[in-house]
Structure 1
Amino acid sequence: MNRALRTTLATITALTLTGAASCTLLADDGDDSGETKIEATDGVDPADAIAGTTVTLVTHDSFNLPKKLIRQFQKDTGATLKIRPSGDAGKLTNALALSQSNPIGDVAFGVDNTFASRAVDEDVFATYAAELPGSAEKLRLDGDAGDKLAPIDQASVCVNVDTAWFEKNDQEPPTSLDDLTDPAYKDLTVIPGAATSSPGLAFLLATIAEYGDDWPDYWTDLVGNGAELTEGWTDAYYGGFTGGGDGDRPIVVSYDTSPAFTVDKKTGETTTAALLDTCFRQVEYAGVLENAKNPVGGQAVVDWLLSPEVQAALPDNMYVFPVDDSVALPKEWAKFAQQPTEPYEVSADDISEHRAEWLTEWTDIVSR
C-alpha cells in the first residue's frame, strides 16, 4: 500500500537545515557507490552511530509525510534521510527482491500483507523486532516474518461508489460484489490491476475469499460487464472515478477511508461511500533490508515510523489508519471513515502458495 485522495510524492524536494545538526532530505539518484557498511558498536548509542551518515528509505510512490517530521528525524539523528520511491507495492516488492544481495536502500516501507510473504521468502528483510504499540501486536505477522516486518498502518480495500452521481442519475448504487456484474452497472466500474497494484491484488483476494474456486467465473463476468482496469490506484481513482477526478465511472476499488476525503464543504456530507461488505484488510509494513549498508539507520527509521508523531500524521497525509490506537483521528473519520467489522480474509500461507498461480490466471482472464 500506499490512499483515498492521498498525494503522490512524485519528487523529493531538497530540505536543508542550518546549525550543528544540519542535514538534508534528498531525492535518490540511484548512485550508492562508495558507501561503506555502518554497524553499531557496543556501548555506542545508535543515534551517535548514524550521525553524519545517509539512510535510504525505499518506499512506494504514495509515501507522504510532513516535511517538519522528516526534518525533526534528521535533527534528532544527525543523519541524512534519502527517499527512494519505487512504484506501487507490487513493483516495490519486486525491486527489493531483485536487489536482495545489493539492496537499493537500507530500509523499506510499503510492502503489504498481500506481498509480505514473497519478500520474506526472498530474504529481503533482516531481523529487527521493533517495539510495537500494544494495539499493533495483533497485526504482527506470524513466525520469523514477525521479527522482520513491523506493521505501520492499515486500511481496508473496498468498492467505493459516487453516491452523488447515482443520485443525480436517479439510479440505486450497487451494494455487493455480485452487483458489479449486473448489466445495470455495465461500463461503470474501474479497478486497479491485480498484477501491478496492491489494492488491485487485495480486491482479487476479496473475490477469491467470496467465490472460492469459482472466482475466475466472477472475473469473466466482471470484465464482460465492462469493468475498466488500470495500472494502479491513482489512475483508477483520479483518472477513471467520477468521485475522484474527471472520470466517467462512478464505481471504483479504493479504501474504507476514502469517503472521509470527499466531504462537500457546503453540506458537510461526503459524496462517496465505501461498501463495507466488499472489503479486504490491507496492512503496510516497514523493515530493515538484508545486506543494507546502514542497517542501524534503517532501524532508526522503523522506530520513527512507529513514533506517536508519525502515527498521528498518517491519516491526513497517507489516508490510512495508524496501528497505534492511542493516536487521535481527524474528526471527519469518526463519521465517514468507517471500518468493516468482518473484512474478507485469505491466509498468508495461501497467498504465498497461490499468488503466482492466481495472478497468472487473472491475467489470462482480463487479457482475453
Structure 2
Amino acid sequence: MGRSAPLLAIAALIVLWDAASASAQQTLTVAGYGGSFEQTMRKEVIPDFEKAHKVKVEYVAGNSTDTLAKLQAQKANQVIDVAIVDDGPMYQAIQLGFCGKIAGLPGDDLYPSARFKDDKAVAIGLVATGLMYNTKVFKEKSWAAPTSWNDLKDPKYRKTIVIPPINNTYGLYTLVMFARLNGGGEKDIEPGFKVMKADVNPNVLAYEPSPGKMTELFESGQGLLAVWGSGRVQSFANTGFPVDFVYPKEGAVTLLASACPVARANASPLASQFIEAMLQPKLQLILLKDYGYGPVNKKVEVPPELARMAPVGDRAAKLINPDWDTINAHRDEWTKRWNREVER
C-alpha cells in the first residue's frame, strides 16, 4: 500500500505526458504570405483541413525572404511544418536542405512546370509579374493604360510608382527585366542597375514590401502605377478598388507560389497532406477566385469570368521563365548593391 501512491503518481504523469505529446503532435505550423493570401488561407483552406484531420493549424505570415530566414534561424530545431514561398526562395530552401519529399503528390494531375526536382516542393499557383495601375485616375488624366516595362521610366509618373524592394521577387524581376531589355540579363545585370538608377528611381514613390501598405498607397491616391503580381492585383480589384493588371508587351515574368514540407525530426505526415489539399481542384478554384492564381492542376475547369487577370491559356504559355540558378548565385551581391545604389 505504501508504494501505491508513488506508482499512481508516476502513472498519472505518464498519462499527462502522453496527452501533452498527442496534443503537441496535433498542431501544424504553416508559414506563408500575408495580406489577402493569409485571409484566404484562414477563411477557405485552414478550417476545413482542421476539421477533416482534427488538427490545429498555426499560420505564420511573412514574405518569402522572412520565411526563408526563419527556416535558417530554426535549422537546429524547426518549428515550421509547411513553408509557402516564391519559387526563387524555394530553390534556396531545397538547396539548403530545408525541404522534405512530398508524399502522395498527385503528379499525373499537375502541369510539369509545377513540379520541383525529387518532389521536394510543388507550385500551388501560377502568378504573372507585371504592372498594376489605378484605372480611375488614369481615365481622369486621359492617360493611356500602360503597356510596357519602359512606362516605368516615363517622367509623367514622377513619385507615383510603387515597386517592392529587391528582397521581394517582384522588385527582383523589375531589375532583371530592365537588364534583359537593355542588352543584358541574369548573367549581365549591369544594364538593369543603370536603368533603375537613372530612369526609374526618380519616379518611385516607395519601394514597398508590404501588401497592406501597397494597397494603402493606392487607396490614398499617392500610388498610381506599380509592379506587382496578377494574384495581388486580382485580390485588390476584388475589393472594388479601380485597379487593373497589365501583361507588358515585352512579357510578364513567371512566379510560382510554392509549398514544401519542412524537413524536421518526427515530421508530421499532415504536412504533405496539407500541401496535397491545396492542389485539389476545389481549392485551386478558390485560389483562382480569391487570389488570381493560375491553376497548376490540369483538371481545373476555369470559368471565363475568373480568367480576366490570371495567367491561364496563352498568357501562361507566354510567361518569361527566369534563370534562378544564376539569380540565386548573385542575389546577395545584387541586394547589397541595390541597397547601396538604388534604394537609398
Alignment TM class, shorter chain as reference: 0.7 to 0.9
Is the 8 Å Cα contact of residues 192 and 200 (structure 1) preserved in structure 2? yes
Cα distance change on mapping 1:90 and 1:264 into 2, 3 Å? closer
Aligned equivalent of 2:81: 106
Gaps of 5+ in 1: 1-33, 39-49
Aligned equivalent of 1:312: 285
Aligned equivalent of 1:46: none
Aligned equivalent of 1:147: 119
- The alpha-carbon deviation at position 246 of structure 1 amounts to 1.8
Q: Which residue identity lines up with residue 33 of structure 2 in the other structure?
A: H
Q: Which residue identity lines up with residue 79 of structure 1 in the other structure?
A: V
Cα distance change on mapping 1:342 and 1:236 into 2, 3 Å? farther
User: Which of 174, 184, 189 pairs up with 1:203?
Assistant: 174
2:89 maps to 1:115 = yes
For 2:102 and 2:224, how far apart are their aligned partners in 1? 43
Bigger Cα displacement from structure 2, 346-355 vs 60-69 = 60-69
CA deviation string 1:241-290 (max 9, x = no partner): 2xxx223221111223525853798xxx9752413335211101111111
User: Which of 158, 173, 191 pairs up with 2:163?
Assistant: 191
1:272 counterpart SS class = strand
1:302 counterpart SS class = helix
2:141 maps to 1:166 = no
CA deviation string 1:137-196 (max 9, x = no partner): 22223x4xx42111111111111222331221123343212221122322221111122x
Is the 8 Å Cα contact of residues 262 and 271 (structure 1) preserved in structure 2? yes
Gaps of 5+ in 2: 1-18
2:254 counterpart SS class = strand
For 1:73 and 1:65, how far apart are their aligned partners in 2? 10
2:195 counterpart SS class = helix
For 1:198 and 1:219, how far apart are their aligned partners in 2? 16
1:285 counterpart SS class = strand
For 2:208 and 2:254, how far apart are their aligned partners in 1? 20
- The alpha-carbon deviation at position 224 of structure 1 amounts to 3.9
For 2:238 and 2:26, how far apart are their aligned partners in 1? 43
- The alpha-carbon deviation at position 223 of structure 1 amounts to 4.4
- Percent identical among aligned pairs is 22
Deviating above 6 A after TM superposition, structure 1's stretches of 4 or more consecutive aligned residues are: none
CA deviation string 1:190-214 (max 9, x = no partner): 111122x233233333334433231
Bigger Cα displacement from structure 2, 329-338 vs 159-168 = 329-338
2:109 maps to 1:134 = yes
2:256 counterpart SS class = strand
Aligned equivalent of 1:248: 222
Cα distance change on mapping 1:151 and 1:272 into 2, 3 Å? closer
Report the TM-score when normalising by structure 2. 0.79
Aligned equivalent of 2:65: 90
Aligned equivalent of 1:18: none
2:247 maps to 1:275 = yes
For 2:25 and 2:263, how far apart are their aligned partners in 1? 22
Bigger Cα displacement from structure 2, 340-349 vs 275-284 = 340-349
1:187 counterpart SS class = coil
Q: How does 1:336-355 map to 2 (within 5 A)?
A: 336-337=309-310, 339=315, 341-355=317-331
Bigger Cα displacement from structure 2, 293-302 vs 63-72 = 63-72
Q: Which structure shows the higher helix fraction?
A: 2
For 1:131 and 1:234, how far apart are their aligned partners in 2? 31
Cα distance change on mapping 1:367 and 1:59 into 2, 3 Å? closer
1:218 counterpart SS class = helix
Aligned equivalent of 2:8: none
Q: Which residue identity lines up with residue 325 of structure 1 in the other structure?
A: K
Is the 8 Å Cα contact of residues 190 and 230 (structure 1) preserved in structure 2? yes
User: Which of 232, 246, 257 pairs up with 1:284?
Assistant: 257
For 1:210 and 1:125, how far apart are their aligned partners in 2? 35
Report the TM-score when normalising by structure 1. 0.74
User: Which of 38, 50, 68 pairs up with 1:74?
Assistant: 50
For 2:143 and 2:226, how far apart are their aligned partners in 1? 16
Is the 8 Å Cα contact of residues 57 and 105 (structure 1) preserved in structure 2? yes
Is the 8 Å Cα contact of residues 151 and 284 (structure 1) preserved in structure 2? yes
Is the 8 Å Cα contact of residues 182 and 225 (structure 1) preserved in structure 2? no
